[in-house]
Amino acid sequence: MRQKKVEELDKLVSSIATAGDKLPTVERRQFLSQGLSMLGGAAAMVAGGTALAATTSKYAPPNVPPWTKTLGQGVIADPYGVPSPFESNVVRRNVPWLTADRIASISFTPLADLKGIITPSGLVFERYHAGRPEIDPDEHHLMIHGMVDRPIILTMDDLMKFPSTSMIRFLECPANGGMEWRGAQMTKLQFTHGMLSCCEWTGVLLSTILAEVGVNKGASWILAEGADGALMSRSIPMEKALDDALIVYAQNGEALRREQGYPIRLINPGWEGNTCIKWLRRLEIGDSPYYQREETSKYTDLMPDGTAREFTFVQESNSVVTTPSPENPLKGKGKYWLEGLAWSGRGKIKAVDVSLDGGINWRPARLTGMIEPRALTRFGMEWDWDGSPALIQSRSIDETGYVQPTYTQLRAVRGSSSIYHKNAIHTWRLHADGSVTNVQIS
Amino acid sequence: MFRFPNLAWPKRILMALALAVLLASSGLIAKPKPAGHYGYGKAATAAEIAGWDIDIRPDGRGLPDASGSVEDGEMLYEDQCAACHGSFGEGVGRYPVLAGGEGTLTEARPEKTVGSFWAHTSTLFDYIRRAMPFTQPSSLSAEDTYAITAYVLYLNDLVEDDFVLSKETFAEVAKLPNHGNFTPDPRPDVDAKRCMKNCKDPASVRITSEPTILAEEVAEDTPVKAASPQEQGAEVYNGACAVCHNQGVAGAPKLGDKADWEKRLSAGEETLIKHAIEGFQGQSGFMPAKGGRMDLSDTAVAEAVKFMLAESIN
């Protein structure tokens, strides 16, 4: 974003002469001299490191920028609105060496550039096992069968007639941060924590559909299956299905995005993203788990003694500082708004603490904005940086009293081969020049 | 096994469920079963269910009536699987390893394969049938799935070379060696405390690890809007063609195989582009139209072909 901005700024600055040309002579002289003195003044301020915000903009008051003196684009210039070109660097990215190809692969949400708790639909991380299918909603069907009184097939029209519910919930891949189990490896926040997002999801409670088909006695597990080339499948326990599992057709107020399972997906709030089957086509009600590849070969947690934990559904509480971060370095000492994100698959975030000395001393941060259960929660703190190096950490506490652990605590129990569910306290190393790098500390 | 701290079950639904179960089990509901509360959708027929109900369970429920031998599996595997998973299941490049790794689960770099880690043979049959071969999922017959499953077991030294897998013999191999080594979720398993002051000795704070790879080497991919035709060609290739042409899957000419591409180019670039757009059955295999990506424009496919030629021949 920054590089792009500098270039754009250069362009604007070079157009200042043109703008000046169009002004009456007196104003013109004033315009140019003010522009120049402003540049000089700004430079002086930066050098002197005064508390006042420095600007190199030629259009700061009292000058009037060209966009104020011309007409802008008319309506429906972009029938579907897109972000400003100045934000063109805010995109999903992938890490090619993680997977063999881009079809069974993952991309990451640019967390450092996001504000609030809602992830824009187009920036939600992607995870595919056979690529993203293109599905005509008129040709999509959801079949519910197995241990039920009335096996049924629903079209999208049918589904839309059921009572609708919305909830804001995070969605996280259980492998989020998994590359860091053995040591710090990724260089940016986007890659250390970016298999994470939070949206408003709208759809029909799974419990409503289960009541509709009449679940038989003894039924305890549900196989959820997608319509993609991987026929992605997971077993979901009945308790979750009856609690808050949602069959989702809309995301952030519009139809679900293709990347997220258009036309429908399952959302199991607070649970592994992998259980939230996309392009949902089938729900089979049964009396035991189905032991699919994604719940034995993958998404099981290998322990140091060689055993593995299965059906580890909950995403435990986690947090990360998003400013400062490698993508958001500091520009010299002074006052900043330090902020980050916290979340818990078990409920609401109760508190977040921040440490600047690598976990020796902590102070509570402020929770800002909405605090929803199983949703991203913003925290922030005013901070006057004296310019000295720091080890910045955040630690979340959820409403069950669970405290986010350190790497040392987590590894003492689970070793470092389990790939999934790494929710250790993260450390950013802030250098004297304001740059930020990923480290792990003892 | 699981913890549900906030069970806010919709009470009405639960009661409706309980009532439905009660009625059903007490035989009070007359046949045919009445519609649900809303009555939306249509009843699923047995034939409709059979077409989609593809899962196999650990006890073999769901297995089709058919069989397949290790012997038949070998050829099928070589043809359809080996390009990515290797002739011995050793895995090519970053594609998954399917065999070996026994005894490595407690090592620093565990190798999790069908033989070393998986629990149920049903999972193998089920997964191959639902998702493999990667570029043509849901294409294997029941016989071929049995044969290939048997062969993957053979690659893991779990059956002899004369083994025939069927609905009947399944029970003999239903449990894989690592069966029984999976445990329920014990979390929360780490009891951290919320200390606020002097929580550790400042002298103990050391940096234990930092990324050692330079940011540039990590090569985090920023998909740029392709500016030039060459860039567009590379982008299309990576997204739609590399999956077969990188490894030579199913007889696809490999990127960089100069001899193969020169031979093909003798038919003229236009012909190669036409074949890529319209699909092509050649001597070595079948090239699906546009690599199966019908959303791509003809120009995009043409740029990909030009990119492939430039990468392979120059």
- Please answer yes or no on whether A214 and B118 come within 8 Å at the CB atom: no
| Claim to verify: residue B88 and residue B145 sit in the same structural domain | yes
**Residue A273, in any domain of the structure:** yes
CA dist., res. B148 & res. B159, Å (int):
13
> Which one of A95, A148, A150 makes the best mutation probe of the B interface by having the most chain B beta carbons within 10 Å?
A150
Q: What is the mean pLDDT of residues A387-405?
A: 98
pLDDT for res A243: 98
Please tell me whether the peptide bond between A324 and the residue prior to it is cis, using omega within 30 degrees of 0: yes
Last residue of one domain, picked from the residues B152, B181, B210: B181
Nearest to B280 by CA among B297, B299, B267: B267
CA–CA distances in Å: residue A356 to residues A338, A365, A392, A405, B272: 11, 12, 4, 17, 61
| Other residues' Cβ atoms within 10 Å of the Cβ of residue A283 | 24
Cβ <8 Å between A214 and B106: no
Mean pLDDT of B47-72: 98
pLDDT of residue A55: 63
Nearest residue of chain A to residue B135 (CA atoms): A130
Tell me the residue type at A403: V
The answer to whether residues B77 and B161 belong to one domain is: yes
Query: Does A153 contact B42 at a Cβ distance shorter than 8 Å?
Result: yes
Give the pair of three-digit tokens for residue A393: 């950490």
Please compute the mean of the pLDDT values over residues A207-230 and round it to a whole number.
Answer: 98
Establish if B300 belongs to a structural domain. Answer: yes
Mean pLDDT over A11-35 rounds to 37
Name the residue among A103, A308, A311 with its Cβ closest to that of B181: A308
Chain A residue with CA closest to B137: the answer is A229
| Structural domain contains residue A153 | yes
Q: Which of A164, A187, A410, A425 to mutate against chain B (most B CBs within 10 Å)?
A: A187
Taking contacts as CB-CB distances below 8 angstroms, the residues of chain B near A351 are: 194
Interchain pair B41, A153: CB under 8 A: yes
Q: What is the mean pLDDT of residues A388-407?
A: 98
> Which candidate, A277, A297, A147, A290, places its Cα nearest to that of B122?
A290
CA distances from B97 to A194, B118, B246 (A): 27, 12, 18
More confident residue, B177 or A11: B177
Within A15-150, residue ranges assigned H as helices are 16-21, 25-48
Q: Is the pLDDT of residue B295 over 60?
A: yes
SS3 labels along B245-291: HCCCHHHCCCCCCHHHHHHHHCCCHHHHHHHHHHCEECCCCEECHHH
Q: What angle do CA B13, B184, A398 make, to 5 degrees?
A: 65
- Residue A104 inside a domain? The answer is yes
Q: The CATH number of the domain where A271 resides is what?
A: 3.90.420.10
Q: Lowest-confidence range among A55-64, A117-126, A144-153, A277-286?
A: A55-64
Hey, of A292, A294, A396, A422, which one would you mutate to test binding to chain B, going by the most B CBs within 10 A of its CB? Answer: A292
Is residue A115 located within the same domain as residue A55?
A: no
| Length of chain B in terms of residues written | 314
**A95 and B37: CB-CB below 8 Å?**
no
Percent of chain B with pLDDT over 90: 71
User: CB–CB of B40 and A217 under 8 A?
Assistant: no
Query: What pLDDT is attached to residue A36?
Result: 37
B171 and B233 share one domain? no
In chain B, which residues have their Cβ closer than 8 Å to the Cβ of A162?
38, 40
Q: How far is CA A127 from CA A273, A302, A325, A386, in A?
A: 9, 22, 24, 41
Identify the H or E element spanning A391: strand A390-398
Looking at per-residue pLDDT, the higher value among B144 and B314 belongs to B144
Q: Does B25 reside within a domain?
A: no
CA distance B134 to B25: 44
What is the total count of domains within chain B? 2
**Residue of B25, B33, B55 with shortest CB distance to A290:** B55
Largest Cα–Cα distance in chain B? Answer: 78
Domain with A419, as residue range(s), is 318-439
CA–CA min distance B12, chain A (Å): 10
Quick check: A372 and A401 in contact, CB under 8 A? Answer: no
Give percent above pLDDT 90 in chain A.
Answer: 86
Residue B5 resides in a domain:
no
- Which of B6, B84, B104, B249 would best serve as a mutation to test chain A binding (most A beta carbons within 10 A)? B6
**What's the structural domain count of chain A?**
3
Taking contacts as CB-CB distances below 8 angstroms, the residues of chain A near B57 are: 286, 288, 290-291
For residue A97, which of B219, B186, B236, B69 has the smallest C-alpha distance?
B219
**DSSP string over A337-370:** EEEEEEE-TTS-EEEEEEESBSSSS-EEPEEES-
Confidence at residue A231, expressed as pLDDT on a 0 to 100 scale: 98
Looking at the structure, do residues A193 and A225 belong to the same domain, yes or no? yes
Shared-domain flag, residues A24 and A145: no
Distance from CA of B23 to the nearest CA of A (A): 10
The percent of residues above 70 in pLDDT, for chain B, comes to 84
Q: What is the pLDDT of residues A169-215, one digit of tens each?
A: 999 999 999 999 999 999 999 999 999 999 999 999 999 999 999 99
Token pair 């490595």 is at which residue?
Answer: B104
Q: Which residues of B touch A309 (CB under 8 A)?
A: 182-186
Same domain assignment for residues B175 and B117: yes
CB–CB contact A309 B182 (8 Å): yes
Would you say A249 and A267 are in contact if contact means Cβ atoms under 8 Å apart?
Answer: no
What pLDDT score does B89 carry?
97
Q: Could B208 and A360 be called an inter-chain contact, meaning their C-beta atoms sit closer than 8 Å?
A: no
- Residue of chain B whose alpha carbon sits nearest to that of A208: B13
The pLDDT, as a whole number, for residue B1 is 39
Mean of the pLDDT values across residues A119-134?
A: 97
Q: Mutual orientation of helices B269-278 and B298-313 as an angle, nearest 10°?
A: 130
Q: How distant, in Å, are the alpha carbons of A242, A421, B14, B23, B198 from that of A215?
A: 11, 32, 11, 11, 55
Which whole number is the average pLDDT over B199-224?
73
Q: Is A3 on the interface with B (CB under 8 A)?
A: no
Enumerate the residues of chain B whose CB falls inside 8 A of the CB of residue A310. 182-185
In a domain, B260, yes or no: yes
Q: What letter does residue A405 receive in the DSSP assignment?
A: P
Q: Report pLDDT digits (tens) over B228-244.
A: 777 889 889 988 898 88
What pLDDT, on the 0 to 100 scale, is given for residue A10?
A: 39
Out of A207, A214, A442, whose CB is closest to B24? Answer: A214
Give the three-class secondary structure for B39.
coil
Do residues A29 and A109 share a domain? no
Are residues A212 and A163 part of one domain? yes
**Residue A17 pLDDT greater than 60, yes or no:** no
| pLDDT score of B88 more than 80 | yes
pLDDT band at residue B190, thresholds of 50, 70 and 90?
Answer: very high
Q: Residues A154, A203: contact at Cβ < 8 Å?
A: no
Domain boundary among the residues B181, B212, B244 is at: B181
Q: By the 8 A CB rule, do B33 and A149 touch? A: yes
Give the CATH number for residue B249: 1.10.760.10
Indicate whether A334 pLDDT > 50: yes
Q: What is the chain A residue with the closest CA to B127?
A: A293
Q: Using a CB-CB distance cutoff of 8 angstroms, which residues of chain B are in contact with residue A205? A: 10, 13
Whether A322 and A291 share a structural domain: no
A150/B190 CB distance under 8 A: no
Nearest to A360 among B134, B205, B211 (CB): B205
| Range scoring the smallest mean pLDDT among A2-11, A69-78, A378-387, B113-122 | A2-11
Task: For residue A41, tell me if it sits in a domain.
Answer: yes
With respect to residue B276, please indicate whether it lies within any of the assigned structural domains. yes
Looking at residue A46, its pLDDT comes to 37
Q: How does DSSP assign B298-310, residue by residue? A: HHHHHHHHHHHHH
pLDDT of residue B16: 56
Q: Could A145 and B49 be called an inter-chain contact, meaning their C-beta atoms sit closer than 8 Å? A: yes
- Whether B209 maps to a domain, the answer reads no
Q: Do B43 and A152 touch (CB under 8 A)?
A: yes
Average pLDDT over residues A337-347: 98
Residue B240, number of CB atoms within 10 A of its CB: 22
Give the Cβ contact number of residue B3 at 10 Å. Answer: 12
How much is the pLDDT for A49?
39
Residues B175 and B74 in one domain: yes
Closest CA to A306 of B108, B11, B207: B108
Largest CA distance in chain A: 89
pLDDT grade, residue A18 (50/70/90)?
A: very low
On whether both B177 and B72 belong to a single domain, the answer is: yes
For residues A185 and B309, give the distance between their C-alpha atoms in angstroms, rounded to a whole number: 36
Q: What per-residue confidence (pLDDT) applies to B18?
A: 56
**pLDDT at A64 exceeding the cut of 90:** yes
Element (H, E) at A436: strand A436-441
Assess if residue B1 is contained within a domain: no
pTM, full prediction: 0.84
ipTM, 2 decimals? 0.86
State the residue range of the domain holding B128: 67-181
Between the CA of residue A212 and those of A99, A149, B22, B37, what are the distances in Å? 41, 9, 15, 6
Q: How far, in Å, are A53, A273, B198 from residue A223 at the CA level?
A: 57, 15, 49
Most confident region among A94-108, A297-311, B253-267 by mean pLDDT: A297-311
Looking at residues A337-342, what average pLDDT do you find?
Answer: 98
* Nearest residue in chain B measured CA to CA from A282: B52
What are the tokens at A212?
Answer: 């509709």
pLDDT higher than 70, residue B124: yes
Q: Does any CB of chain B come closer than 8 Å to the CB of residue A37? A: no
A370 falls within a domain: yes
Q: What is the CATH number of the domain that holds A356?
A: 2.60.40.650
Quote the pLDDT of residue A25: 37
pLDDT of residue A96: 86
Any CB–CB contact under 8 A between A426 and chain B? no
- Beta carbons of B210 and A217 less than 8 Å apart: no
* Average pLDDT over chain A, rounded to an integer: 90
Contact list in A for residue B94 (CB cut-off 8 A) is 97, 99-100
Q: Is residue A327 part of a domain?
A: yes
Kindly compute the dihedral angle of the four CA atoms of residues A205, A208, A209, A210, in this order, to the nearest 10 degrees.
110
Q: Do A214 and B9 touch (CB under 8 A)?
A: no
Averaged confidence pLDDT in chain B: 87
> Do both A148 and A267 map to the same domain?
yes
Q: Shortest CB distance from B16 goes to which of A145, A161, A211?
A: A211
Helix (H) or strand (E) holding B131: helix B121-131
Q: Are A324 and A289 in the same domain?
A: no
pLDDT at position A14, please? 37
- Whether residue A265 is predicted with pLDDT greater than 60 in this model: the reply is yes
pLDDT at B36 over 50: yes
Average pLDDT over residues B55-81: 97
Per-residue model confidence as pLDDT tens digits over B126-185:
999 999 999 999 999 999 999 999 999 999 999 999 999 999 999 999 999 999 999 999
Q: Categorize the per-residue pLDDT at A53 as very low, low, confident or very high, splitting at 50, 70 and 90.
A: low
User: Is-contact B80 B87, C-beta < 8 A?
Assistant: no
Per CB-CB distance under 8 Å, the chain B contacts of A439 are: 207-210
pLDDT tier at B225, thresholds 50, 70, 90: low
Alpha-helical (H) ranges within A194-232 are 206-213
- Best of B193, B201, B210, B235 to disrupt the A interface (most A CBs within 10 Å) is B210
A229 chain-B contacts, CB cut-off 8 A: 131, 137-138
A413 close contact with B: CB closer than 8 A = yes
The answer to whether residues A212 and A334 belong to one domain is: no
Q: Distance between CA A94 and CA A125 in Å, rounded?
A: 9
The pair phi, psi for residue B144, each rounded to 5°, is -65, -35
